[in-house]
Structure 1
Amino acid sequence: MKRYRFFVAVCLLISSFSLFLVGCSRSASDSGTTAGTESAAGKSDLAIVDSMDLQYATQFSVDYYEDGYVHIHIEDGRDYVLIPSGAEANNLGLEDATILYADDVQKSIYLAASSAMDLFLQLDQLDVIKTCSTTADDYSMEEVKQAIHDGAITYVGKYSAPDYETLLASNTGLAIESTMIYHSPKIQEELENIGIPVLIERSSYEETPLGRLEWIKLYGVLLGCEEEANQFFDEQAAKVEELTASLDSKTQEESQSESVEGTGDTAPTVAFFYISSNGYVNIRKPGDYLSKMMEIAGGSYTFSDLNIEEDNALSTLNINWEDFYKEAKDADILIYNGTIDGGVNSIEELEEKNALFADFKAVKEGNVYCTNLNMFQESSKIADIILDFHSIICGDTTDLQYLKALD
C-alpha cells in the first residue's frame, strides 16, 4: 500500500512538473475534479446558443454555449463542462462543475459501465476505450472480446478495485461508471483525487426503453460524433414509434368494431425468468424497462400485479417456485433468460429444471422461447428486441434475432 501511494504521488508530481515546464495551465482540478480554480473559471459571460433536443431521456441534459463549450448536467446533481479542442478552461460560471477536455476524453476513456460498451461500438468509437472493468470472457460481443485479447483495451480489475497505476499510465481523460459506484464512493473519490474525472451513467434510471437508448446522444457529444449518434437514435426510435402507431391504430379499429381480442387486458401474457442455482425463480420487477418493452410490443407482463416488498434499485427479484407457478402457469408465452446460465435448448431441458413446467399453458401450446447470450449487452438493439417480442406475441418465429423458439 505504501509503495502504491508513493507511486501515485510520484506520478502526479512528475505530471504537474512536466506541465509546468511546457507552460500549460491545466491543474489536477482542471482536468478531473471540481473546476473552481481561477484558471478554470475563465470567462463566465458566454451565452447558451442551443440545447439538445431529448425526446425520451430525462437523466441528463446538454446545453451548447458560444465558442464550442458544452455544459452537461446529470440528474445525480453533477455538472460537467466540455472544453473544445485548443480552448482555455472555463467553468461557464458553474463553480462546482467538473472540467472535461475533449482532446483528453476522445483519446482515452475508462469504461466501468459495461452496458454502454455497445453504444461506443455502434458509433465506431471502440478505440477510444483504453481500459475497462469487465473481462473479455464476460463480454459476448466479438469485437470487444477481441479488442481486450489483443490489448487494445486493458482490463484493470473490477469497478470496486481498479488498478489506478494502469489508469494513470493510460492517460485516462474520463471514467464512465455505472450506478454500482454509488456502493463504492471511495473509489470515485480516489479517481478524482488522482485527476481522473468521473461521470456516472444513469440510463438505468430512465423510465422508458428509448430513454435508455437516447444516452447514445450524450456519448456522441463527448466523442465528437453527434451527427452519427443522432442518426442512429432516430433510426431506432422510428422502428418503435412505427410499431406503436400500428398497434394504436389496430386497437382503435377493434374498439370501434367492439372486438377487443388481443388488446387491453386480453393482450397475450408474457413471463420472463430464469431458474437460479439455489432453486429460486428470478424475474424482472414490474415496471422494469424489459417489462415495458414487452408491453410496447403488444403483450402484457405476467407479473405486472405482483406485490413487491423489496425496496432496492435492482431490476430483478427472486421469488419462490410456488409464487411463480401461481402467476405464470397460465401465461401465454414463457421466455427463459439465457444470459445468466446459458439458457435451455429445448422444452425437455426446461422440464428437467422442474417437472411442473409440463403443466404450464405456454409449454402445452409450444410458446416457449429462450434469449441469446448477448441480448442485454447489445444495449443499442432495444428496438430490434422489441420487434422480436412483437413477432412472438403475433406467433411469428421467423427471422428472430434475440430469441429462439424451443421445441
Structure 2
Amino acid sequence: MRARLVALSATLLLIPALLAGCGGDDPSPAAAGAGTDTRGCVSSFDENTDYFPVHSTLEYAKNFTITYEKAYQVVTVKEPYPDGKPESYVLYRCGTPKPELTGDLADAPRVETPITSLYSGSTTHLPLLADLGRLDVLTGVATGTYVINKEVRGLVDAGKVVEYATNGQIDTERVVTGAPDVLMTDGYDVPEFQKLRDAGVPVVANAEWLEGDPLGRAEWVKFMAAFTGDEDKATKAFDKIEADYDAIAAKVPDEKAVPVLVGSMYQGTWYMPSGGSYVAKLLADAGASYPWADSTDAGSLELDFETVFTKAGSAKIWLADGEWKSLGDITGEDARYGQLTAVRDGQVWDNNLVTNADGGNDYRERGVARPDLVLGDLAAILHPDAFPNHTFAFYQQLK
C-alpha cells in the first residue's frame, strides 16, 4: 500500500546521534550489578555469574527469538527480509571474553553490548530507542528527510548525526568510516550489506514489519533492548502498551461491526490490507468490518477501483492513508473518489495528522511501536460516543 511504498524510503533511514556513552551515570537495570561499571561492563569476570539477570520473554512477536547464556545471548531473526534465511547474532556483555562458537553459530556476528553507536535503517526504530531512553546511541541515518522525532531531527540538522544514504543508496565508505557497533536494517536486503559485513561492520536485521500482529510489532522494543542492555525498561514499556491496548479493545461496544473502506490507490492500484495482516487485526479489535477481512494473506491485495467501489464504496467511513489534506485534494487526484459514500458524507479519516514538509509521517514512524495509540484513534472514529473527548495521535478528519 501507499504507506509501505513511501516507508521504503523512510526505512532505509539510519539515525545517528551524539555518542554519550551507553547509560552514562544511569546504568541500565539489566546491565548494572555487582562487578560492573556505570556503563554495565563487567569489571571482574566470573564464568559462573549470570550477567543477564533480566531475561526478555516474547508473547506476540513471532519473527525473532532470544536465548540466554551466562555472559552472552543469542538473538535470531527468523525471516530477516522476505523469504530470507534465519540470521543469528551473538551479543556478549562488555568486559567478558568474546565467546568461542561452533556449529550453526560459528559464523554468527558477535556484538559487544551494551552498544554505544547504532546506524538505524528505519524511522520505526526511533520510538523503540526513545521508549528505552537510548536515543543517545544513535549515530547514523540514511537520510533525515522523513524523521519526525524532534530530538533526532535536531541532531541531523545540526550535523551531529550523519546521513549515509541520502540518494537512496548506502554510502559504504561513510558507514565503514563511521564504524558503528551495529547497522540495523529496515527488514530488506541490499548488496551493500555484504560489503559492510566484509569490512567488519555488524549488520543486524530488524524485520518487525513482517509481524502479523500489532502488539507483535511493538514487542520489537525487546529486540532493541537486547543491544542496548535495557531488558527491564523494555518489559515495562511494552507491558504498558499492551495494557492500554487491551483496555481500549475492551471498551469497544459489543455490537455489529462498523463497515469501513480502507486504504487508497497508488498509481492506479488500490492496496487493500489482507485479512491476515496487522491492519486487519487492528480493525477487528476496533470493531470494524470490511469485505476482504476473510482473506488469509498477511500482506496487501492489489485491486482496481471498480472492485473496491462495488464491494466497499457504500461504507460510511473511509480510513485512508493518502497524503491529502482536504476532500478537494482527494477528488482532485482522481474524480472517481467522489463516488464514494464516505467522500460525499465527509467521513474520510486520514492517518496524516502529524507530518513534515519532506513527506515524513508520524504514523509510519511511531505507529508501529504504539499500536495502542492507533487503536485508540480507530475506536474513537468508529465509536465516538464510547470514546468522547479523544485526543487523536495519527488520524484526522478531512474537510
User: Does the TM-score normalized on the shorter chain lie above 0.5?
Assistant: yes
Which residue number corresponds to residue 320 of structure 1?
304
Deviation at 1:358, TM superposition (A): 4.0
TM-score where L is the length of structure 1: 0.74
Q: Check if 1:271 corresponds to 2:248.
A: no
Which residue number corresponds to residue 110 of structure 2?
99
Which residue number corresponds to residue 192 of structure 1?
197
Which residue number corresponds to residue 259 of structure 1?
none
Which residue number corresponds to residue 122 of structure 1?
131
Measured in 2, the distance between the counterparts of 1:101 and 1:360 equals: 55
Deviations 1:313-345 (A, max 9, x none): 8x445432212211221223102213xxx3232
Matched position secondary structure for 2:365:
coil
Matched position secondary structure for 1:402:
coil
In structure 1, runs of 5+ residues without a counterpart are: 1-42, 252-261
- Count of matched residue positions in the alignment of Structure 1 and Structure 2: 333
Deviations 1:156-193 (A, max 9, x none): 01697322222222221111112221xx2x32221111
Residue 59 of structure 1, aligned match among 55, 59, 63? 63
Matched position secondary structure for 1:271:
strand
Which residue number corresponds to residue 180 of structure 2?
172
Q: Check if 1:214 corresponds to 2:223.
A: no
Measured in 1, the distance between the counterparts of 2:121 and 2:382 equals: 35
When residues 213 and 49 of structure 1 are mapped into structure 2, their CA distance, relative to the original with a 3 A threshold, is: same
Does the 8 Å contact 1:122/1:380 carry over to 2? no
Which residue number corresponds to residue 331 of structure 1?
315
Measured in 2, the distance between the counterparts of 1:198 and 1:53 equals: 24
1:243-282 to 2 correspondences below 5 Å? 243-247=248-252, 251=254, 262-263=255-256, 267-276=257-266, 278-282=267-271
Which residue number corresponds to residue 384 of structure 1?
373
1:8-407 to 2 correspondences below 5 Å? 52-66=56-70, 68-76=71-79, 77-91=86-100, 93=102, 94-102=105-113, 106-133=115-142, 135-157=143-165, 161-181=169-189, 184=190, 186-247=191-252, 251=254, 262-263=255-256, 267-276=257-266, 278-305=267-294, 315-338=299-322, 342-345=323-326, 347-372=327-352, 373-378=361-366, 379-395=368-384, 398-407=390-399
Deviation at 1:69, TM superposition (A): 1.8
When residues 127 and 289 of structure 1 are mapped into structure 2, their CA distance, relative to the original with a 3 A threshold, is: same
Deviation at 1:209, TM superposition (A): 0.5
Larger RCO (CA under 8 A, 6+ residues apart): 2
TM-score where L is the length of structure 2: 0.75
Give the number of the structure whose residues are more often helix, by fraction: 1
Give aligned-pair identity as a percent.
Answer: 22
Deviation at 1:307, TM superposition (A): 9.7
Matched position secondary structure for 1:136:
coil
In structure 2, runs of 5+ residues without a counterpart are: 1-46, 80-85, 353-360
Does the 8 Å contact 1:273/1:336 carry over to 2? yes
Deviations 1:2-56 (A, max 9, x none): xxxxxxxxxxxxxxxxxxxxxxxxxxxxxxxxxxxxxxxxx99x99988531111
Which residue number corresponds to residue 13 of structure 1?
none
Matched position secondary structure for 1:110:
strand
Does the 8 Å contact 2:213/2:281 carry over to 1? yes
When residues 356 and 159 of structure 1 are mapped into structure 2, their CA distance, relative to the original with a 3 A threshold, is: closer
Deviation at 1:100, TM superposition (A): 0.7
Measured in 1, the distance between the counterparts of 2:145 and 2:153 equals: 7
